[in-house]
């Protein structure tokens, strides 16, 4: 039986472009998204971290300097040595993902492990508000690093024990020699006063040797202390759950999807009335659609707040920013849809799928490929996510984000206004 669908497609070749465009959507989505999450743990060396060495070295140990040197030379993690103030500033701004602080008394405490074994707490800071997944990855990396640091500390501890044992052995050997000398002196009939002096020296030597041996015996028990160093996590912008950390990413995608769906279903270029001026036609159409998308953003906000339980740091700012984001996205998508028709809507769909991979919403963008890292700062979704991160969990100013979004609204609204001018003589669809 002859297929009527194929016959229809032959008569309407324009449909082929639409079908071919739809055909590549799964490919683009799978390829771009998989590329962003392909091997993040294998790219940890691209995740910038800082080590702040506040340790004051002792005469025998410079543990902080040694560890800092090893970390900054490591090829598995990207550590940079810097001051505390700068490290804190860059952690909060998202330029760093982890800050390891070595306390001032580290070398002094570790040098006394043999005689005064106490666990040393070393703090590292993360920023879950900027990237909850990066904070978890940093925690995993620090768990592995803790094992390395403990191994180095235990090795240093055992070397100190060996030195103390050798010193104690030498002292006991010297004391044994003194005993032999006193025995000979007694046999030779020396005065009692000299014998007393000799006995006193022997007693002192035995006492000091015994103390060192007892210390060595106590230090030997430290072999069973598997963790003399404890790394403790502190988050500068904690989030209560994974959903809060991922909210900026999913909210941004939702707003973009809404704008594309609206433009595919509802043709913003068709006029449903006669207007004397094209500006009035534009205001009538865009005023309705602006109100519609703002209503959609409001629905999203109410859902995430009352259904999901999202509790932003600044709820009002989060809501108002959501309205601004959807207006910017709508202006962008609608401009392409008006001038290029369904091809423009398809391009915006492909652009959204590309942004999903390049926006760093799942894993930090530093763990993706060079192309994604290059375009990441300039994507609308990246800018929107950055603003939502601040209003939901980080705090701080979003004036830069607001300025860019307002600029998008103005530029692409002028583009839609230009379309209405160009088609000002088109007949109305009543």
pLDDT digits (tens, 9 = 90+) for 23-62: 888 888 788 878 888 888 888 899 999 999 999 998 888 9
Task: Tell me which of 210 and 278 has the higher pLDDT.
Answer: 278
In a domain, 249, yes or no: yes
- pLDDT for 151 equals 77
Cα separation values, 189 from 180, 192, 194, 198, 203, Å:
14, 9, 10, 14, 21
Inform me whether the pLDDT recorded for 309 exceeds 80.
Answer: yes
- Burial code (b: 16+ CB inside 10 Å, e: under 16) for 271-306 equals beeebeebeebbeebbeebbeebbebbeebbeebee
Whether residue 334 sits in one domain with residue 293: yes
Q: Is the pLDDT of residue 218 over 60?
A: no
Q: Residue 78 sits in a domain of what CATH number?
A: 3.40.1710.10
- Does residue 308 have a pLDDT over 80? yes
The tokens for 302 are: 């109410």
The reply to whether the predicted model has a pTM over 0.85 is no
188 in a structural domain: no
Confidence (pLDDT) at 221? 46
Q: Which of 177-191, 275-289, 348-362 has the lowest mean pLDDT?
A: 177-191
The reported pLDDT for the residue numbered 13 is: 78
Contact, 376 vs 382, CB < 8 A?
Answer: yes
Question: Tens of pLDDT along 315-337?
Answer: 999 999 999 999 999 999 999 99
215 and 67, same structural domain?
A: yes
- Domain match, 284 and 410 both: yes
**pLDDT the model gives residue 109:** 84
Q: How confident is the model at residue 170 (pLDDT cuts 50, 70, 90)?
A: low
198 occurs within a structural domain: no
Whether residue 163 sits in one domain with residue 261: no
Q: 219, 235, 251 — which closes off a domain?
A: 235
User: Domain range holding 288?
Assistant: 17-29+241-422
Give residue-wise pLDDT tens across range 237-267: 999 999 999 999 999 999 999 999 999 999 8
Tell me which of 132 and 182 has the higher pLDDT: 132
Number of domains into which the chain is organized: 2
DSSP string, 181-244: HHHHHHHHT--HHHHHHHHHHHHHHHHHHHHHHHHHHHHHGGGG-S-SEEEEEEESS--SSHHH
225 plus 288 within the same structural domain: no
Q: At what angle do helices 132-188 and 63-73 cross, to 10 degrees?
A: 140
pLDDT at 213 > cutoff 50: no
> With bands split at pLDDT 50, 70 and 90, how would you rate the model's confidence at 278?
very high
CA angle (19 as vertex; 18, 20 as ends), nearest 5: 95
Residue 224: pLDDT band (50, 70, 90) is: very low
The answer as to whether 1 is a domain residue is no
Mean of pLDDT values over 200-225:
52
- 2 located within any domain: no
Q: Is residue 73 part of a domain?
A: yes
Q: How confident is the model at residue 168 (pLDDT cuts 50, 70, 90)?
A: low
Are 301 and 405 in the same domain? yes
Query: What pLDDT score does 156 carry?
Result: 61
Asked if 248 and 293 sit in the same domain, the reply is: yes
**pLDDT value of position 121:** 87
Residues 231 and 367 in one domain: no
Q: How confident is the model at residue 284 (pLDDT cuts 50, 70, 90)?
A: very high
Percent of the chain with pLDDT over 70: 82
Residue 218 lies in a domain: yes
**Do residues 214 and 281 share a domain?**
no
382 in any annotated domain: yes
Whether 54 and 163 share a structural domain? yes
Least confident of 173-182, 317-326, 410-419: 173-182
Q: pLDDT tens for residues 124-163?
A: 999 999 999 999 999 999 988 888 888 777 666 666 666 6
> Both 247 and 382 in a single domain?
yes
Q: Based on the domain organization, do 281 and 347 belong to the same domain?
A: yes
pLDDT score recorded for residue 188:
63
For residue 219, what pLDDT is reported?
46
- Residue 387 confidence (pLDDT) above 60: yes
Query: Which residues, 6 or more positions from 29, have their beta carbon under 8 angstroms from its beta carbon?
Result: 353, 356
């Amino acid at each position: 039986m002859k297929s009527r669908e194929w016959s229809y497609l032959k008569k309407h070749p324009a449909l082929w472009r639409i079908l071919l465009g739809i055909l590549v959507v799964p490919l683009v989505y799978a390829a771009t998204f998989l590329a962003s999450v392909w091997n993040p743990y294998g790219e940890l060396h691209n995740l910038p971290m800082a080590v702040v060495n506040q340790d004051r070295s002792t005469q025998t140990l410079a543990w902080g300097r040694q560890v800092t040197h090893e970390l900054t030379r490591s090829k598995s993690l990207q550590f940079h040595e810097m001051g505390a103030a700068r490290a804190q500033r860059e952690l909060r701004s998202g330029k760093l993902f982890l800050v390891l602080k070595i306390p001032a008394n580290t070398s002094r405490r570790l040098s006394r492990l043999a005689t005064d074994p106490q666990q040393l707490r070393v703090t590292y800071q993360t920023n879950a508000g900027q990237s909850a997944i990066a904070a978890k990855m940093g925690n995993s990396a620090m768990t592995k690093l803790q094992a390395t640091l403990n191994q180095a500390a235990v090795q240093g501890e055992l070397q100190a024990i060996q030195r103390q044992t050798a010193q104690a052995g030498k002292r006991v050997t010297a004391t044994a020699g003194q005993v032999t000398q006193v025995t000979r002196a007694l046999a030779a009939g020396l005065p009692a006063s000299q014998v007393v002096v000799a006995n006193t020296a022997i007693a002192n030597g035995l006492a000091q040797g015994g103390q060192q041996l007892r210390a060595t015996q106590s230090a030997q028990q430290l072999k069973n202390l598997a963790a003399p160093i404890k790394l403790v996590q502190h988050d500068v912008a904690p989030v209560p759950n994974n959903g809060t950390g991922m909210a900026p990413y999913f909210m941004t995608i939702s707003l973009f999807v809404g704008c594309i769906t609206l433009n595919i279903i509802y043709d913003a270029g068709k006029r449903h009335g006669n207007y004397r001026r094209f500006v009035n036609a534009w205001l009538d159409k865009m005023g309705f659609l602006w109100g519609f998308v703002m209503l959609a953003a409001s629905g999203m906000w109410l859902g995430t707040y009352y259904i999901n339980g999202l509790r932003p740091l600044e709820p009002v700012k989060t809501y108002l920013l959501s309205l601004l984001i959807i207006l910017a996205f709508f202006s962008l998508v609608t401009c392409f849809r008006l001038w290029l028709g369904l091809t423009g809507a398809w391009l915006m769909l492909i652009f959204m799928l590309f942004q999903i991979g390049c926006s760093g919403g799942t894993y930090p963008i530093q763990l993706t490929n060079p192309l994604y890292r290059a375009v990441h700062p300039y994507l609308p979704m990246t800018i929107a996510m950055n603003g939502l991160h601040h209003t939901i969990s980080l705090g701080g100013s979003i004036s830069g984000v607001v300025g860019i979004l307002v600029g998008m609204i103005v530029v692409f609204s002028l583009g839609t206004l230009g379309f209405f001018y160009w088609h000002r003589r088109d007949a109305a669809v009543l």
